[in-house]
Amino acid sequence: MTRRADVHRIAMQSPDDVSGIRLLIEQARLDPCTVVAVLGKTEGNGCVNDFTRGYATQSLRHLFSHWLSEDQLDKVPFVMSGGTEGGLSPHWIVITVKKNEEPPQNSATVAQALAVGSAVTRDLLPSELGRCVQADIVKQGVLKAMHQANIQSPDDVHLVQVKCPLLTSGRIEQVGGDVATTDTLKSMSLSRAASALGVGMALGEVARVDDVRIGTDLSLWSGRASCSAGIELMGCEIVVLGQSISWSGPLRVAHAVMQDTIDASTLMDLIARTSGERYASAHGSHIVATLAKAEASSTGHIRGSRHTMLNDSDIAATRHVRSFVGGLLAGLVGNTEIFVSGGAEHQGPDGGGPVAIIYSTDSL
């Protein structure tokens, strides 16, 4: 007997619009008791004062409270990422897991299928955020989630989604200013950085780190970490997406690492691995979800040409880059419901970032 993961991508009309999820539940196409994680791409600024994430989470908890207890709710990662700049479209990605009583579709071969594990860490102290303690805590969480999903090798992990906290003036005061940074926007960056290094340590991509290299030594990176920071939590919520022969069903996951924000070639190769075709405009239906990280290169250049993202005091660089990379992803994948999140510190090389595609072998 295996487990089977299903992934539902559902449009969201506003951060509190859970009607699409409710409809699937009412139609018995989604069992709320089997939900292991919900990702949401919400339409806020994705920065410090983005309350659409908390609003979406509150709305989700209210919905699911009809079926799950408070304790059960606390164990489901709700990973909201703000920012649907450009033509990106707000949406939910609901992941369910159930036991699969049916034999594998093709009993002759033992194929790997999408495997999902999750973990929620303890709350961090504001003074731990963006430092080694956070990286270690995330590392332990990733290993726990892999074990839970029976993913044997780090090579079978294709994306680790981490939602981690940020600092506010209030939280900084709470620990008497003993924090990695007093700049609240910067704290989002350091929190993502520490989480990414934790993922990299768990997957063997990064060796032990020290505080000073977090957010600064860009030669250290994970090709499978996707971290976002939010005001609404103080712990880290971890979802591991991989493949395992202990799982069955039609879904698969693949990933690649974009080398810069305009790396169409890597994206095309990744899409080709899911379907044989190098872009999905006409064949997009097999792609169930696209998850990516993007960031403005710290050099201020893309292939030798200057970009203006880091010098723009009107629009945060993360907002610029989500739209920019989102345009390329949406064009090649053929739809705008892309979970692209900004700020890819230690998540892929400087100016680049990991991309993962969950796809279905049924619709090919």
DSSP class of 216: T
DSSP class of 222: B
99 given a catalytic annotation: no
Alpha helices (H) in 18-131, listed in sequence order = 19-26, 52-64, 70-74
Q: Which stretch binds its own copies (CB under 8 A): 205-213, 219-227, 236-244, 275-283?
A: 275-283
Catalytic residue among 81, 222, 228, 323: 228
Measured CA to CA, the distance from residue 194 to residue 217 in angstroms comes to: 12
SS3 content of the chain, % helix, strand, coil (to 5): 30, 25, 40
Candidate list 116, 330, 356, 357; residue touching its own copies; CB under 8 A? 330
Measured CA to CA, the distance from residue 301 to residue 69 in angstroms comes to: 50
Whether residue 92 contacts residue 21, with contact meaning beta carbons closer than 8 Å, is answered with: yes
CB of 207 to its own copies, least distance (A): 24
Q: How many residues bind its own copies (CB under 8 A)?
A: 81
Q: Is 305 in the site for its own copies (CB under 8 A)?
A: yes
Q: Is 109 in the site for its own copies (CB under 8 A)?
A: no
Q: Contacts with its own copies in 29-58 (CB under 8 A)?
A: 43-45, 47-52, 54-55, 58
Q: Is 6 in the site for its own copies (CB under 8 A)?
A: no
228 given a catalytic annotation: yes
Residue 206 contacts by C-beta under 8 Å, 6 or more apart in sequence?
197, 200, 220, 221, 222, 346
Q: Which is nearer to its own copies, 4 or 320 (CB)?
A: 320
Candidate list 24, 73, 133, 262; residue touching its own copies; CB under 8 A? 262
Candidate list 320, 346, 357, 359; residue touching its own copies; CB under 8 A? 320
Q: Which is nearer to its own copies, 98 or 273 (CB)?
A: 273
Which of 97, 113, 121 lies closest to 35, judged by CA?
A: 97
Active site residues: 163, 228
